[in-house]
Structure 1
């Protein structure tokens, strides 16, 4: 960082030399696979080497944090991405899954000082989910790359 930067960190979207881990929930698989495809396509467009992208799947959103924790614990990744889709139903289960998975992802981010782009969709219906998959998948990739670079800059 140059002295002229006056302490302002830049938002670098250069994915070269970054290692990214992706954990995708298989529940609502068509939607989460679309999220994953958009994310991986964007990571590659940002310069992340496909050999440096590890993509694993788990049953559902509540299982995502455990896989993220294992990846963070390995210290093999500069950033992680959480992908899933929780669609509101007629019971309280929606709130439970949305709240618990979100809180766990945040806890892992802070406990391991590892950036995690949380793209676990929480929507009212399938139509809302489909309307968000492309954009949220790409956003997750950009957040992961930007935060990985920022963390390197801050250390």
Structure 2
């Protein structure tokens, strides 16, 4: 039996900036608008001065089947992107929230994906997906759908 060290996940050159709303009809009811809002401004350049990914991420949720409130990234631990014609970015890290929940949300972690399918809201909309879990691994909020707005992801 040999001892192995887990593989590290290294970030690659990536950049995304923009904002918008995603409406999901099935996540709308009498108490929920069915919308999540995202604002993102993140970057990482392995050849640059920063040793780690940096930036800001905010997700505001108002959907059934999940906590409602604002989630703000407190760290960006991994960021990667790929593609030239419709660059796609993935990021993950820790977040804090004021979301209404049965118990205070602690140890939240997020995962976000943005596919930049169009420039200037022409043609196919950008797609955004996210999932947030608490420290026990319970899903707190999630959603994926077409963005009304624009998030520019740098081609890689």
Relative to the length of structure 1, the TM-score reads 0.28
In proportion to residue count, which structure has more strand?
2
Relative to the length of structure 2, the TM-score reads 0.28
Rg larger for? 2
